[in-house]
Chains A and B, each alone.
Chain A
């Protein structure tokens, strides 16, 4: 009798239940995606300023690529045309670069864009106080809320900045074709243009994330009882 008891004891020890709550990444993506889809117009407004700023960045960057393509032909006529259209080219320069003035305007437009995103996201977060509070009552941790908002911003950033960069590049190609003729499309290295588009998209994503950080922290740190008190 005692023998059996001693043999059973170690085997029947109850497994410890994990005292933790989880939100798998796949599920986070699903929730974030649905959240954007359902609130499509709200997301569109948040993304719009990003699209505009990134398309400007893409336009400037791709225009520079085109100017470089034109310079690489070593045609003096094209060189004169570039100088006439505002590129500061010294006689010994073999590469064109965006002018300081252009760079300043791009930086300013990106800054304005970030402020716009922060504003739009703060509004979006305020609209969703109750939803966030409910999630917290169901056991969501601060970082789930943070992660959902960051994922949403990342998706909005990818789509918005992608569209913006492509639109900017397309516009640069079209306007330069009108100015210099078909040679503007044929000479520049496609790799350079692709790199410019990728760079503009990346910068856009980064801005989208930077813009959502503060609103997402506000949302994540909110106590459920405060969130519930918000009247609609």
Chain B
């Protein structure tokens, strides 16, 4: 576990590497307002959050709670109005376009509700694209891409275009792609939102195994109660603020009550 965490942060100095072993993401007093016509909407009203390395974190909350906004902040896809977001103890608002692209390429893997597989590329090309951006040679990228597709159980479909794959398979390709550059964090935005129950569960199990075996921190925004089962921590967001943070031990009771599905 320590070895993996170290390998994920090669350019960091000794000091930051040590800190990053504890908290991979730190959100400090973040607010975000949007201007909608003349009205300004406060999506986030002061969020403080620390996410430890190697954990499976679920961000839960109703629609419009600011969940997606917070999620975009952590992913470096959007900048906070005030406050700071640190990834690996680096303040991402200080990064220029190049460093931000590097961060997205090497440190973070994204998984989306709508899969967002690039339609004109095959499964394998989708997985190797981030490796190309990272400067990996083509043969090694293809080799690693096949390994990753095998990991998600799609090795025999590497030549297929997205429209020839089911939703669950597309999401698997997206997971393989997210893992391409051995990121420290995987951000999953409603990864099961467009999938049926069984496929959704497969995807959740896959993510859980990855976080176990590879020590990847998984942060997922979700509505899906199935996610609670596997989360190490659940962050409940309500009305732009953190409502409560529950760890798994606290959760099992409530999940046992909700979780009345057969075969779960």
Chain A positions within 8 Å of B, measured between CB atoms, are 14, 16-24, 27, 31, 34-35, 38-39, 130-131, 133-142, 144, 223-225, 228
Contacts and interface: CB of A to CB of B under 8 A. Distances in A.
Interface string B9-36: 0110000000000000000000000000
Q: Report the 5 A-B pairs with minimum CB-CB distance, sorted nearest first.
A: A139-B105, A38-B120, A225-B77, A139-B133, A17-B11
Nearest to A35: B120
Nearest to B189: A228
17 contacts: A21-B102, A35-B120, A38-B119, A130-B114, A131-B118, A131-B120, A137-B104, A137-B110, A137-B116, A138-B133, A139-B106, A139-B130, A139-B133, A140-B101, A140-B133, A141-B98, A228-B112
B210 to A, nearest CB: 18
Contacts of A142: 97
Interface in B108-144: 110, 112, 114, 116-121, 129-130, 132-135, 138
A35 B99 CA distance: 27
Contact of A136 (B78, B104, B120, B138): B104
A21 B105 contact: yes
B194 interface: no
B177 A139 contact: no
Nearest to B69: A225
B135 A134 contact: no
Given A225-B72, A225-B77, A225-B78, A138 B120 contact: no
A27 B10 CA distance: 26
Contacts of B104: 136-139, 224
Interface in B72-117: 72, 75, 77-78, 97-99, 101-102, 104-106, 110, 112, 114, 116-117
Nearest to B71: A225
Contact of B134 (A21, A35, A144): A21
Contacts of A14: 10
A224 B134 contact: no
Given A19-B99, A38-B120, A138 B135 contact: no
B118 A21 contact: no
Interface residues of B, number: 31
B81 to A, nearest CB: 14
A130 B78 CA distance: 16
Nearest to B138: A27
Interface of B: 10-11, 72, 75, 77-78, 97-99, 101-102, 104-106, 110, 112, 114, 116-121, 129-130, 132-135, 138, 177
B133 A134 contact: no
A138 B177 contact: yes
B77 A34 contact: no
Contact of A141 (B10, B101, B114): B101
A231 B10 CA distance: 38
Given A20-B102, A225-B72, 19 more contacts: A17-B10, A21-B98, A21-B105, A21-B133, A22-B133, A35-B120, A38-B119, A38-B120, A131-B118, A134-B117, A135-B118, A136-B101, A136-B104, A137-B77, A138-B129, A139-B101, A139-B105, A223-B78, A225-B77
A31 B120 CA distance: 9
A19 B77 contact: no
Contacts of B99: 19
B133 A19 contact: no
Contact of A34 (B72, B106, B121): B121
Contact of A138 (B72, B105, B138): B105
A139 B120 contact: no
Given A16-B11, A34-B120, A141 B130 contact: no
Q: Which of B105, B106, B135, B177 has the most A CB atoms < 10 Å from its CB? A: B105
Contacts of A23: 132-133
Nearest to B9: A17
B195 to A, nearest CB: 18
B72 A141 contact: no
Nearest to A132: B118
Contacts of B116: 130, 133-134, 137, 228
B120 A39 contact: yes
Contact of A27 (B105, B110, B112, B132): B132
B94 to A, nearest CB: 14
Given A130-B116, A131-B118, A141-B98, A20 B135 contact: yes
